[in-house]
Amino acid sequence: MAEIKLKNVTKRWGDFVGVQAFDLDIADREFLVLLGPSGCGKTTTMRMIAGLEDPTAGDIYIGDRRVNDLDPKDRDIAMVFQSYGLYPNLTVYENIRFPLKVRKVPQAEHEERVMRASAMVELDDFLHRKPAALSGGQRQRVALARAIVRTPQVFLMDEPLSNLDAKLRVSTRAQIKNLSHELKVTTIYVTHDQIEAMTLADRVVVMKAGIVQQVGTPTEIYDQPQNTFVAGFIGSPAMNLMAGEIRDGTFHSENATIPGVSGPPGKVICGFRAEDASVAEEGQGELRAPVYSMELLGDSTMVTVRTGRDLVAVKAPKEFRAEIKAPFAAHIPAEICHVFDAESGERVV
């Protein structure tokens, strides 16, 4: 049983607050992703769970044990870092086996456990090599195997894919997803990449400046962002956010008029997803503006226009073409709109 509980966990360095009153229950076998920009407190939170940082306040439980005063080696966790942390003088086999030697696991078990971990990440053909003879993706798989071989209660992964190129990130991400399903071990994964968060997580914790902004499933966070920060951080592209005002049930912004939008009268921010809007005939549609840019994405064409100071993207069919500055119109029905308070950025509707 490896349920993790963070109770009002705070980390300060002098006047600087790294993590503020983090309160969360992480279920046994859950894959939880801490997501946010650099400096938001996600790695600090992970390091406190690992025992590499001491919380200034609050309690951390792994299972039914309060672990605040336990050394990292006594918490039964395995970490995978952004830097692979391999021993250059050891072969892949010996790198994977190393945690077993340190923890004095009986020698008779080593071969079977190393080979099982190796097979899970498809390293059987590389066991005799040293890290210098491996690609970045292979080295990361060695780091994963070294964590797997321990059979810990908890996996902690700190931006493990950030050193890999785009193609390797996709394949290694799939491998981590499959491993999570096979191993059924509670996992906390830190990333700034929202695509990793959306594809891997059972739940996502979005953080900003040490404060939790929203906790939910990827679908909940994508479909119902709690504030403009989450809306602007999640999605590729991120949610469009238009500053304007609601008058008589209609949202008004420069180049956009959307009737039927629910929300308080006055200044608001209206958000919608690029894929939820559609191209309209010239002279029709709730949004009308000159084309600012056009990007061919293969399966679609992304058209960007400007409304006031805001850039707004609409996903058009892949065969759509338009010149820069040409007139463009899009349908933005009220039911696809999200309304946020203009001052606080918090969700209104």
Tell me: do 297 and 207 sit in the same domain: no
In a domain, 303, yes or no: yes
Tell me: do 145 and 243 sit in the same domain: no
Tell me: do 83 and 192 sit in the same domain: yes
In a domain, 346, yes or no: no
Host H or E run for residue 291: strand 287-296
- State residue 236's pLDDT score: 86
Hey, is 143 helix, strand or coil? helix
Query: CA dihedral defined by 225, 227, 230, 231, rounded to 10 degrees?
Result: 70
With contact defined as beta carbons under 8 Å apart, do 157 and 188 qualify?
A: yes
Question: Which residues are paired to 178 by β-bridges?
Answer: none
pTM of the model: 0.90
Tell me: do 19 and 74 sit in the same domain: yes
In a domain, 31, yes or no: yes
d(CA 38, CA 80): 18
In a domain, 347, yes or no: no
Boundary residue ending a domain (229, 253, 281): 229
**Does position 267 have pLDDT exceeding 90, yes or no?**
yes
What share of the chain has pLDDT > 70, as a percent? 99
pLDDT band at 282; cut points 50, 70, 90: confident
Distance of CA 280 to the CA centre of its chain: 34
Question: In this predicted structure, which of 128-137, 245-254, 326-335 has the lowest mean pLDDT?
Answer: 128-137
| Segments forming the whole domain that contains residue 74 | 4-229
Boundary residue ending a domain (211, 229, 247): 229
Question: Which residues are paired to 26 by β-bridges?
Answer: 4
In a domain, 86, yes or no: yes
d(CA 254, CA 261): 16
Packing angle of the helix pair 107-120, 92-102 (nearest 10 deg): 130
Tell me: do 44 and 109 sit in the same domain: yes
Matching residue, tokens 């498809």 = 122
pLDDT band at 96; cut points 50, 70, 90: very high
In a domain, 151, yes or no: yes
- State residue 168's pLDDT score: 78
Q: What is the CATH number of the domain that holds 281?
A: 2.40.50.140
Boundary residue ending a domain (229, 246, 262): 229
- Indicate the number of domains in the chain: 2
In a domain, 18, yes or no: yes
Tell me: do 297 and 221 sit in the same domain: no
Tell me: do 135 and 221 sit in the same domain: yes
Tell me: do 55 and 167 sit in the same domain: yes
Q: What is the CATH number of the domain that holds 217?
A: 3.40.50.300
- State residue 182's pLDDT score: 86
Average pLDDT score, the chain: 93
Tell me: do 168 and 258 sit in the same domain: no
**Does position 85 have pLDDT exceeding 90, yes or no?**
no
Q: What is the pairing mode between strands 256-259 and 250-253?
A: antiparallel
Q: How far apart are the first and last CA of the chain?
A: 39
**Does position 347 have pLDDT exceeding 80, yes or no?**
yes
d(CA 96, CA 257): 60
Comparing CA positions, the residue from 42, 38, 2 lying closest to residue 22 is 42
**Does position 124 have pLDDT exceeding 70, yes or no?**
yes
Q: Which two tokens stand for residue 53?
A: 């940082």
**Does position 76 have pLDDT exceeding 70, yes or no?**
yes
**Does position 1 have pLDDT exceeding 70, yes or no?**
no
Q: What is the pairing mode between strands 211-216 and 203-208?
A: antiparallel
Mind listing the pLDDT tens digit for each residue in 180-222? Answer: 888 899 999 999 999 999 999 999 999 999 999 999 999 999 9
Tell me: do 94 and 49 sit in the same domain: yes
pLDDT band at 273; cut points 50, 70, 90: very high
